[in-house]
Amino acid sequence: MRRVTIMSKPGCHNCEAAVKVVQLVVGQQAAVLIEEIDITSDQGLHEKYQHDIPVVLVDGVVRFKHKVDPEALAELFADEPGINLTGIM
């Protein structure tokens, strides 16, 4: 199973946008787990990511900071069925 992790915090509008893009592009795939982590709940995560959120990791590797590019995200999942770019381009 593939994993997409979104580092975010409450009140972050860019984080909300990143979550929507991730859900629209890969959210319909059964083989992809999407998790959102509030960096304010962990001091170490807060120190590491506070100036870069949203941060999106795919399979544990940082792929996006500040903004998610839907086309680039879709390319990371090009071999997976069900990728959706409708309505976000």
Q: Which two tokens stand for residue 64?
A: 């996006």
Question: Between the CA atoms of 76, 79, 81 and 83, what dihedral angle is there, to the nearest 10 degrees?
Answer: 30
Q: HEC states along the chain?
A: CEEEEEEECCCCHHHHHHHHHHHHHHCCCCCEEEEEEEHHHCHHHHHHHCCCCCEEEECCEEEEECCCCHHHHHHHCCCCCCCCCCCCC
d(CA 7, CA 58): 11
Please identify every stretch of the chain with a pLDDT value under 50, giving residue numbers as ranges: none
Q: Give pLDDT tens digits for 12-37.
A: 999 999 999 999 999 877 789 999 99
